[in-house]
Amino acid sequence: MAIVVMKFGGSSVGDAERMKRVARRVVEKKAEGNRVVVVVSAMGDTTDDLIDLSKQLNDKPSAREMDMLLTTGEQVSVALLSMTIQGLGHNAVSYTGWQVGMLTEKAHGRARITDIKPDRIHKALGEDNIVVVAGFQGMTEDGEITTLGRGGSDTTAVALAAALKADLCEIYTDVDGIYSTDPRIVKVARKLKDISYDEMLELANLGAAVLHPRAVEYAKHYNVPLVVRSSFNHNEGTIVKEEATMEQGVVVSGIAYDKNVARISILGVRDVPGQLAKVFTALASAGINVDIIVQSGVLNGKADFSFSVGVDDAEASVAVLRKIQSDVGFDDITSETNLVKISIVGAGMVSNPGVAARMFEIISEQGVSIKMVSTSDIKVSCVVDAEKFQDIVRALHTGYNLDTAEQAFVGGPQERR
Ligand code: ADP
Ligand code: ASP
Ligand code: MG
């Protein structure tokens, strides 16, 4: 019998009605003759609501207690889904991450899975159960509860599929598959029949929320057959695999955006060797992930630097820099949020000159100036003010010939936080 892992995101289990819809879908899969493992996220906006609540009580809650809090969301979902399935007359059993041996590193809030012991799941499947597992959570070797980072239930599902040697891992969400860009912003985005692990990984890392980056990494590494599709209809989804069908003449295949961007500038840095090393060693020691780095020209023996970090790391970055200000020797620091990083991705880019220039042109036609740029063989990213980012994404989508004639069908609800 084939083993199928089905993952349902927060919006797919947002209320009792949707929970019932998911239960029916799961039962249907079992009735087709499969062994079914289901991974679920917290219902609707639960995770965001819990974060808001914690901030009312402590503006800097400890990472350990945050994990203790946020893992409750998924625990509610698994119990409710399991009892809904039982109500339909089928055997079901729910488990937390730690009950199914989901071992992780200790990094609270962004832990990586190190091992899974799927014996308990195999046993429950053997006893004819539908197994429902809480996404996004795990436990360290010394018994501390951890989470895998926002959107991490996708990773739970793919990791379980790999550990169980499942025949298929299906990610059910509120859109019909993976599109050339977010179909909520570009109504004429095109649904992809398939996409390569590498291109999807790039899009996910650049902010496309539809799949968690680590889920794609896992799927590539263990060659997990992965499909993204809607929980609101039975339309065919998008297959993520090693080699995708190359469309002739496509240079840019996808556009992603990331609102989680802050820019920190260090002004008037003395231009002597070793300054950059000091700054970025200090940031790395504080566990801060730096993305784009830009240095301006030297004037009167002094230079300015800018770098980008996640919004949540902006304050901590400034604090780290203040500590080393006299040692490094610079005049001031500024920090800026309300930015978006917009990226174009495509494997065909490397052999086509002028792709980046065209992007800069399209952004300038929107009357927006570019604050930072970064490029690689298969992507170009620009950081801009958030205000007109949707217009820019739409213009890029048109400019790189990605628009479809038909309007993208979006299966799920439009209201999102
Ligand atoms: P879930 O709760 O199911 O995990 P997410 O919100 O994490 O759902 O991911 C689905 C959302 O990802 C969609 O509603 C869509 O707005 C967004 N998205 C961003 N980029 C893309 C893309 N290229 N293709 C499809 N969806 C995308
Ligand atoms: N509930 C978690 C989040 O909102 C995990 C997930 O949805 O994948 O980030
Ligand atoms: Mg998600």
Nearest CA, atom 4, ligand 1: 9
Choices 1.10.620.20, 3.30.70.2740, 3.40.1160.10, 3.30.750.24: CATH for 3-246: 3.40.1160.10
Measure 10 CA to ligand 3 centroid, in angstroms.
7
Contact between 23 and 83 under an 8 Å Cβ cutoff? The reply is no
Q: Which pLDDT belongs to residue 349? A: 83
Measure 42 CA to ligand 2 centroid, in angstroms.
6
Mutation choice for ligand 2 from 40, 153, 171, CB with most ligand atoms inside 8 A: 153
Q: Any idea where the domains of the chain sit in the sequence?
A: 3-246, 255-399
Structural element, H or E, at residue 412: none
* CA 345 from centroid of its chain's CA atoms: 16
All residue ranges of the chain with pLDDT < 70 are 248, 407-417
Measure 154 CA to ligand 3 centroid, in angstroms.
7
Among the bound ligands, name the one nearest to the CA of residue 171. 1
Nearest CA, atom 6, ligand 2: 151
Measure 143 CA to ligand 2 centroid, in angstroms.
22
Structural element, H or E, at residue 49: helix 46-57
Ligand 2 within 6 A of CB of 41: yes
Measure 52 CA to ligand 3 centroid, in angstroms.
19
DSSP of 112-165: PEEEE-THHHHHHHHTTPEEEEESSEEE-TTS-EEE--TTTHHHHHHHHHHHTT
List CB-based neighbours of ion ligand 3 within 5 Å.
9, 151
pTM higher than the cut 0.75: yes
Nearest CA, atom 5, ligand 2: 151
Measure 303 CA to ligand 2 centroid, in angstroms.
41
Q: Which residues line ligand 1 (CB under 6 A)?
A: 9-12, 41, 151, 173-175, 178-179, 181-184, 208-210
Q: Distance from first CA to last CA of the chain, Å, rounded? A: 40
Q: Which pLDDT belongs to residue 48? A: 97
- Ligand 2 atom showing the smallest separation from residue 10 Cα: 7
Measure 147 CA to ligand 1 centroid, in angstroms.
20
Q: Which two tokens stand for residue 254?
A: 């996808």
Fold of 255-399: VC0802-like (3.30.2130)
DSSP of 275-318: HHHHHHHHHHHTTPPP--EEEPPPBTTEEEEEEEE-GGGHHHHH
Nearest CA, atom 12, ligand 1: 210
93-to-65, 128, 199, 368 alpha-carbon distances in Å: 27, 10, 36, 53
Place of tokens 């439009």: 414
Q: Which pLDDT belongs to residue 67? A: 98
Nearest CA, atom 11, ligand 1: 210
Contact between 179 and 190 under an 8 Å Cβ cutoff? The reply is yes
Q: Please give the backbone phi and psi of residue 89, each rounded to the nearest 5 degrees, phi first.
A: 90, 20
- Ligand 2 atom showing the smallest separation from residue 153 Cα: 8
Mutation choice for ligand 1 from 11, 77, 173, CB with most ligand atoms inside 8 A: 173
The closest of 368, 357, 374 to 394, measured between CA atoms, is 368
Measure 230 CA to ligand 1 centroid, in angstroms.
10
HSE on the CB side for 179, CA within 13 Å? Answer: 26
Q: Which pLDDT belongs to residue 411? A: 57
Sign of CA dihedral 16, 21, 27, 29: negative
Q: Which pLDDT belongs to residue 169? A: 98
**Cα dihedral value 62, 67, 73, 79, nearest 10:** -140
Measure 208 CA to ligand 3 centroid, in angstroms.
10
Ligand 2 within 6 A of CB of 152: yes
Ligand 2 within 6 A of CB of 151: yes
Q: Which two tokens stand for residue 226?
A: 């992965």
Q: Which pLDDT belongs to residue 269? A: 93
Q: Which two tokens stand for residue 81?
A: 């889904």
Beta carbons within 8 Å of 117's beta carbon, 6+ residues apart: 100, 101, 103
